[in-house]
Amino acid sequence: MRDSYMSYAMSVIMSRALPDLRDGLKPVHRRILYAMSELNLSPEGSHRKCAKVVGEVLGKFHPHGDQSVYDALVRMAQPFSLRAPLVDGHGNFGSNDPDPPAAMRYTECKLQRLARDSLLTDVALDTVDFTDNFDASEREPMVLPARLPMLLLNGASGIAATNIPPHNLGELVDALQALISDRDVSDAELLRRLPGPDFPTGGIIMGNAGARDMYTTGRGSVVLRSTTSIEALPAARGQGSRQAIIVTELPYGTAKNPLLEKVAALVNAKTLVGISDIRDESSLAGTRVVFELRRDADPLVVLNQLFKKTELQKNFPANWMAVEGPGKMPARLTLRSALSSFLDFRVECVRRRTAHLLAKAEARLHLVDGLLLATQQIDAVIEAIRGAPSVGDARELLTSSRFGLSPEQAEAILSLQLRRLTALEQSKLDDERADLRAEVARLSTLLSERSNVEAAISAELEELREAHATPRRSAIEVEYEELSDLDLTPNEGCVIVQSARGFVKRMPLDEFEAQGRGTRGKAGMANLGDGDAVLRIFSCATHDTVLFISERGIAYALEAFRVPVASRTARGVLLQSLLPIAADESIAQLLPVSEFSENESLVLLTRHGWIKRTPLLAFERITARGLIAASLGEGDCLTHAAVCTEADTVIIASRLGQALRFNTDAKQLRASGRASRGVKSMRLRDGDEIADMDVVRVGDRPADAIVRGGEAGGERGGEMLLAVTRGGYGKRVRVDAFQPKGRGGQGMISIKFKNRDDRLVGLSQAREEDQLLLITKKGVTVRQAVAAISEQGRAATGVQLQRLDADDYVASAAIVPPVEQDDAA
């Protein structure tokens, strides 16, 4: 049973499912085209009912279901299915929506010019073998004498794992011409002439790696993307302008209506965000699908999500399986083997055609020679024929030695009409003999060398290119990278919070609306557990790279969007689940970096006051195990980090309220390698320690700059410093109140404490339009405008920023950019 079933399965695949490399057709398609040719449905003629063609195919060649035959006929007429349709359909042959075709009794068809010129022209010239049909009542060709590699031109797919994409006719001719000129032409040259598939529905082929694999190994995956654009929509009354993604070409094989249904389902399930409306504006002029976006949506991010989650981008998995000829098993092809095998088949067809035409020309020349010989002695011929008692006797007399004619020549003379004996007819016979002799010589020369045959094939290819080539429809985007999670994430502001026990989470920046000064705030990180507390908080953009610098001086890197989002009251996740750090290793600083610039450096500060400056580019490519950022002395650990340039100054503040500002140029703080220890920064009094460090740039900075550096997230442009204490007090102090001094001093007073046990939490640069985000040990947060905080001198105690419980204190402060009203909504 197993052997019988396998034999039957192989027979079905060979006779129905696999295309033939030589003409690129499956048996059903070959039989349809041959039947249409026999019905004389030429391109110049009129259309005939498809039911007539289906009946002809079923009755003579293909004893299977009529619907399967009609489906195959319909596909050969669909311009969105074949790159070069072979059937000219009249009526409803379906659409890419997908709409089904009308019944065969309603539709009509005839052959396309390409089908006649490239497949059927030579079928009657003994170019291919014929075989009996299923009941031996008819003869059908085993293969059509194709002049073009239809297997590559229109591609093939089916149940036998074959999946070959369509190609451009002109590029196929170029590749064949290169192979004709040099059978050892390099793969690189073939790929230059045939750079990739050309799909009938257009689209964009992303990269050439998939096509290269497909052409060299027979297998590969071609990434095909829709053709899209981003357009601005007219603004509605009382509303801002919106944008829309316009789709004008879909990937090959993608049905439009199911695609739109899937997009709508993803939008309703909130898996795909940013789309407010979907419209299908397609017409006979072409495809046009509109995805209208919300005002706060990033068009590129939404487009990337569409590419990632829908069939607006899909892979075409190629598998070049075909039968290379009669009696051969299915084989996997490469571009070179497919073109070479087709060229060998074409050489055989041209030789057989030439031999057939040569035999006909020689036979006719033989008859013309006999007719001319007879006209030279016409009186004797006529007299002999008249004197013969029968036709047979006359034939024997003409073939005797007296006249020396062959039986074929004698038969032609006996069939000769008297009008052919005129002088004019004799002159025509002389001209015909001269033409026939030239034709015989030409055909004989053509058969003498393979190069002559290939020259004839080359000329035919050029004729087909001139008559049927069309411009490429699918563009090729050479520079292509796979969509990453970064491409699917909008670049928007966020807040990252870290607890003392190593929990971290990300929250949207508009989660904390601005509140008045002195309020109690709201929970920002509840459920911390016994002994845990909020350690630091900073704002950044989701596309920023966050440097995690451990107390041991090891730097790790992670994109900000990879930090899991959590609610204000959630605890977050452990850093050990995001980074390869040991359980006893603590992260001293989280530093967001939007760009690794060669003009910027990373400033690192230790608990014992050692400071160093290392080029930021040294941390651009951090391995999974991290990189050494600083060498530490015994008992020391790294506590702060920030980004600076040589034109900046750094200000260091201690817990007891002292602050020292000095330059970061080569004189005060020269750049050093990652493994260096650094130099002394600030001389601390007994019982004092480093509280904060910030890089100060005097002057305005771009409004969309991201906060970075220090526990408070770093600096923004402006000329004010914001001091915050553990007791919830704060003030603004002018930057010029702290003149740059030499490195290594004690600094000057930055704030006086209202309570003796109060300590400084942060001293950071802030602009009036910025906002301050405070978070306490218990996780209570408050967000307020910086402009609402009083400006005071260095020795002032400040104003109350947040009311605290008796057992609570401010753990961290961050300067965050203002949130636009639309974003907050």
Give the DSSP letter string of 502-567: SEEEEEEGGGS----TT---EESS----TT--EEEEEEEETTSEEEEEETTSEEEEEEGGGSPB--
- Mean pLDDT, to the nearest integer, of 593-606? 88
> Minimum mean pLDDT among 13-17, 554-558, 606-610, 749-753: which range?
13-17
pLDDT tops 60 at residue 527: no
More confident residue, 61 or 242: 61
The pLDDT of residue 701 is 43
CB of 75 within 8 A of CB of 154? no
Indicate the pLDDT class of residue 531, thresholds 50, 70 and 90: very low
Tokens of 276: 């407010």
CB of 440 within 8 A of CB of 362? yes
Tokens of 813: 């402060």
- Mean pLDDT, to the nearest integer, of 387-403? 81
Cα(674)–Cα(483) distance, rounded to whole angstroms? 33
Indicate the pLDDT class of residue 698, thresholds 50, 70 and 90: low
* Alpha-helical segments (H) within 247-334: 256-268, 299-309
Cα(384)–Cα(389) distance, rounded to whole angstroms? 10
CB of 225 within 8 A of CB of 244? no
The pLDDT of residue 14 is 73
The pLDDT of residue 715 is 38
* Most confident segment among 21-30, 417-426, 517-526: 21-30
More confident residue, 642 or 489: 642
Place of tokens 């034999």: 7
* Most confident segment among 81-85, 325-329, 392-396: 81-85
Q: Supply the DSSP symbol for 37.
A: H
- Mean pLDDT, to the nearest integer, of 121-142? 93
CA separation (Å) from 811 to 429, 651, 760, 799, 804? 114, 20, 10, 17, 12
Backbone torsions φ then ψ of 88, nearest 5 degrees: -95, 105
The pLDDT tens digits for 210-237 are 999 999 999 999 999 999 999 988 776 5
User: Would you call 113 exposed, middle or buried from its count of C-beta atoms within 10 A (0-12, 13-18, 19+)?
Assistant: middle
The pLDDT of residue 160 is 65
More confident residue, 702 or 167: 167
pLDDT tops 70 at residue 573: yes
More confident residue, 758 or 483: 758
Indicate the pLDDT class of residue 696, thresholds 50, 70 and 90: confident
Q: Other CB atoms closer than 10 Å to residue 595's CB: what's the count? A: 11
* The one-letter amino acid at 207: G
Cα(641)–Cα(708) distance, rounded to whole angstroms? 9
The pLDDT of residue 513 is 57
- Mean pLDDT, to the nearest integer, of 324-352? 90
Active-site residue list: 106
% of residues, the chain, pLDDT over 70: 91
Indicate the pLDDT class of residue 751, thresholds 50, 70 and 90: very high
Q: Supply the DSSP symbol for 113.
A: H
Q: pTM of the predicted model, to two decimals?
A: 0.71
Question: Which residues 6+ apart lie within 8 Å of 802 measured at CB?
Answer: 518, 519, 520, 521, 728, 774, 776, 780, 782, 810
- Strands 321-323 and 475-477, by their bridges, are unpaired
pLDDT tops 50 at residue 162: yes
Mean pLDDT of the chain: 86
Q: Which domains, ranges and CATH numbers included, belong to the chain?
A: 16-146 (3.90.199.10), 227-311 (3.30.1360.40), 345-468 (1.10.268.10), 493-824 (2.120.10.90)
The pLDDT of residue 780 is 83
Using omega within 30 degrees of 0 as the cis cutoff, is the peptide bond preceding 98 cis? yes
Question: Which residues 6+ apart lie within 8 Å of 329 measured at CB?
Answer: 323
Indicate the pLDDT class of residue 89, thresholds 50, 70 and 90: very high
CA separation (Å) from 257 to 137, 263, 286, 310, 453? 46, 10, 14, 12, 50
CB of 414 within 8 A of CB of 385? yes
- Mean pLDDT, to the nearest integer, of 564-590? 83
CA separation (Å) from 769 to 401, 705, 813? 122, 13, 16
The pLDDT of residue 814 is 77
The pLDDT tens digits for 166-203 are 999 999 999 999 999 999 999 999 999 999 999 999 99
- Closest by alpha carbon to 179, among 169, 164, 194, 167? 194
CA separation (Å) from 742 to 123, 649, 651, 665, 692? 96, 11, 12, 12, 18
